[in-house]
Amino acid sequence: METILFINPPLALAERYGSLAAAGAENCPHAFLYLGAVMKRHGYDVRILDASARMMTVGDVLEYIDNVRPDYIGITASTISIDRTASLSAMIRGRFPKVKIIIGGPHISAVPAETFNLYEVFEYALVGEAEGSLPALLKALKNGGCLDAVPGLCYRSGGNVVLNPVSKDYFDMTGIGLLAWDMLEGFPDRYSAASTYFSKTPYTDIITSRGCPFRCAFCDRSVFGNRVRSMGIDNIIRNLEHLIRNYGIKSVYFQDDTLLVLKDTFKELCDYLIRRKYDFVWSCNSRIDQINEVNLEMMKKAGCWQISFGIESGSERILQSMNKKIVPAQVIEKLGLVRKYGIKANGYFILGTPFETTETIAETVAFCRRIPLNTIRVSYFTPFPGSEMSDECGRYGSIRAHWSKFTFYNVVYLPENLTEDDLVTSYKTIMRNFYLRPETLISFVAMIKSPKTFFKIGKGFYGFLKLLASKS
C-alpha cells in the first residue's frame, strides 16, 4: 500500500495574527479532512501532519517524514505560507529525492504559473478542488501515464510550465461520508477558537458546503467557484454525531461561507438539532441580507449562539466599491433582529480598500462605535491573488509587501492619499472604542463560567492590550 502524507506547513500564531496572536484561532486543516477521506477510499495509507497546530519546526517535519517514509507528499499553501512551503519543499527534495511533492491550496489555484515561475522547486501542483484530480495524478505518476490528462495539473515539461484545463465538474460532496477526523493527531485539543468565537468546549470547526454565489470584489473564489453545493444533510448529521459521541464536542463553528444559502439543507440541520436536544451549541457565518425572523427563531431553538457577518465598512460608498450589495442602515436593522432573538453577533470589517479615504474611514469609525454587535474583527485590506480587487488595486494605490506578509493584520496595501499611520491609528481607534465600552466588557465577563473560559478570554484581552500598545 502506498503512503501519502498531507502537510500543513509550520506557521506560528504570531506570524498569522501579529500582536493579536494570543487571541487567534488554530483551525482544522479542512482540505485534508476531505482529501484524507477520499484518498483512504482509493486504497492509500493516509497521514495528516498539521505542523502548525503541533508547533513543529522544519526539522521536526523532516524527522516525521523520515519515520513515515511516504511515497507522496501533499502540501497546502495559502498566500502567507507560500514562501514557507517552497523552502520546506526544497529541504524535503534534498533529503528525500524519490518522494513526489504536490502543492495545493488557494494561492496556487489563484496564480499557478506566476507561482511556478517564482519558485523553481515546485514540480507538481493541483489547481482548484483536488478530490478528483489527486487520485488521477498519483495513478499517472505510478504508471508513467500521461500528465496532460490530469485536470488542473500545473507541472514542468521541457523547461516550460504547463497548466492543464481545470475540470468543469465540481467534486460531489454528497459522497464524502465521514471526514478524516481520526487522522488529526491530538484532535480536538490541539485546535481552538479565537476568543471572539469562544463558547463551550470541547470545540471544533467544520465546513459542510462549498462555493459562493455572491461576488464581493475582495474575495478569491478560484478554488470552489460560485456554485454552492453541500455534503448533504445525511453526511452533516453523520459527522456531527461522530464528533459528539466520539470526541465529546459541545461547540461547533460552521466555517461555510454561505451555510444559509442552501435553505432546505439548513432547515433540516436546524430541525435535527432541535429534535436531538444535545448539550451542544453552534455558530456560523451569514450575509446580513440572509437573516430574517423566521430563520433566526429556528436557529435560536437549534442552539445557535453567534452569527458572524461580513459587514466590511460603515461607508456606503466603500460597500458599493466592494460589490457587497448591502447598506449601513440595513445592517443596523438586521442586527436589531439578531439581538431580539438573543443570538450574539460578530462583525468583520476591512480598512484600506482601493477607494478608502479619510472620510470613509471616519464613517466606519463612527459606525463601529454605535453598531449593535457583541464582537468585531477588523483587518487591513489584503489584495489576495485571484480577487477582482487585487487586479485593479495598483491603479488606486500601491502594494508594499511580499506575499509572506499577507495576513490581514499587516498593512500591505496603501490607497492613494492615505498613510500607514492613518490606517493603523484608525484600526486601533475602532478596536479601543468597541472593546473598552462597558457593554462589551460586561458581555465578556458574563461568559466566564469556568477556569478554562477565564484563561481563554484573558488571553484574548491580553492580545487586545498588546495590539493597542504596539507601534504598528
Q: Is residue 182 part of a domain?
A: no
pLDDT at 462: 72
- Final residue before a domain boundary, out of 121, 146, 163: 163
Query: 404 and 260, same structural domain?
Result: yes
φ, ψ of residue 328 in degrees (nearest 5): -55, -40
pLDDT at 185: 94
Q: Is pLDDT above 80 for 233?
A: yes
> Distance between CA 439 and CA 374 in Å, rounded?
8
> Distance between CA 425 and CA 427 in Å, rounded?
5
The bridge status of strand 124-126 relative to strand 203-206 is: unpaired
Q: Is residue 437 part of a domain?
A: yes
Q: Which residue has the higher pLDDT, 226 or 372?
A: 372
Note whether 143 and 157 are within 8 A (CB): no
Q: What one-character DSSP code corresponds to residue 313?
A: -
The residue behind cell 440595513 is 330
| Per-residue model confidence as pLDDT tens digits over 124-153 | 999 999 999 999 999 999 998 899 999 999
Q: In which region does residue 337 sit, left (phi positive, over 0), alpha (psi from -120 to 50) or beta (all else)?
A: alpha
Q: Is pLDDT above 80 for 374?
A: yes
Q: What's the average model confidence in pLDDT over 367-393?
A: 90
Q: Is pLDDT above 80 for 466?
A: no
Query: 217 and 116, same structural domain?
Result: no
| Per-residue model confidence as pLDDT tens digits over 91-123 | 999 999 999 999 999 999 999 999 999 999 999
pLDDT at 247: 96
Q: Which residue has the higher pLDDT, 219 or 44?
A: 44
Q: Is residue 180 part of a domain?
A: no
| Per-residue model confidence as pLDDT tens digits over 179-207 | 999 999 999 999 988 877 767 889 999 99
Query: 155 and 201, same structural domain?
Result: no
Q: Is pLDDT above 70 for 23?
A: no
Q: How many domains does the chain have?
A: 2
Retrieve residue 155's grid coordinates: 507541472
| Per-residue model confidence as pLDDT tens digits over 252-308 | 999 998 899 999 999 999 999 999 988 899 999 999 999 999 999 999 999 999 999
Percent helix / strand / coil, the chain, rounded to 5: 45, 20, 40
pLDDT at 21: 67
Look up the CATH number of the domain holding residue 22: 3.40.50.280
Query: 203 and 57, same structural domain?
Result: no
CB atoms within 10 A of CB 99: 16
Q: Which residue has the higher pLDDT, 467 or 50?
A: 50
Q: Which residue has the higher pLDDT, 132 or 168?
A: 132
Q: Is residue 179 part of a domain?
A: no
Q: Is residue 207 part of a domain?
A: yes
Query: 197 and 146, same structural domain?
Result: no
Look up the CATH number of the domain holding residue 369: 3.20.20.70
DSSP characters for 420-437?
HHHHHHHHHHHHHHHHTS
What contacts 24+ positions apart, CB below 8 Å, involve 431-438?
A: 431/376, 431/378, 431/464, 431/467, 431/468, 432/468, 433/365, 433/368, 433/369, 434/368, 434/369, 434/373, 434/376, 435/464
Query: 282 and 350, same structural domain?
Result: yes
Q: Is residue 168 part of a domain?
A: no
* Cβ burial, residue 417 (10 Å; 0-12/13-18/19+): exposed
Query: 149 and 197, same structural domain?
Result: no
Query: 153 and 274, same structural domain?
Result: no
pLDDT at 144: 86
Structural domain that includes position 354: 193-469
> Distance between CA 79 and CA 86 in Å, rounded?
12
Q: Is residue 152 part of a domain?
A: yes
- Final residue before a domain boundary, out of 116, 148, 163: 163
pLDDT at 22: 66
Position 71: which residue type? D
Q: Which residues contact 245 (CB under 8 A, 6 or more apart)?
A: none
Query: Which residues on neighbouring strands pair with residue 413, listed in sequence order?
Result: 399
As a whole-number percent, the residues of the chain with pLDDT over 70 amount to 97
Note whether 191 and 28 are within 8 A (CB): yes
Retrieve residue 401's grid coordinates: 509587501
Rounded to the nearest 10°, the torsion over CA 190, 193, 198, 202 is -30
pLDDT at 15: 76
Q: Could you tell me the end-to-end alpha-carbon distance of the chain, in angstroms, rounded to an integer?
A: 51
As a whole-number percent, the residues of the chain with pLDDT over 90 amount to 73
> Distance between CA 148 and CA 139 in Å, rounded?
13
Query: 198 and 129, same structural domain?
Result: no
Query: 199 and 83, same structural domain?
Result: no
The residue behind cell 507541472 is 155
- Final residue before a domain boundary, out of 163, 180, 211: 163
| Per-residue model confidence as pLDDT tens digits over 311-335 | 999 999 999 999 999 999 999 999 9
Model pTM score:
0.93
Query: 254 and 212, same structural domain?
Result: yes
Q: Is residue 171 part of a domain?
A: no
Mean pLDDT of all residues belonging to the chain: 91
Query: 143 and 212, same structural domain?
Result: no
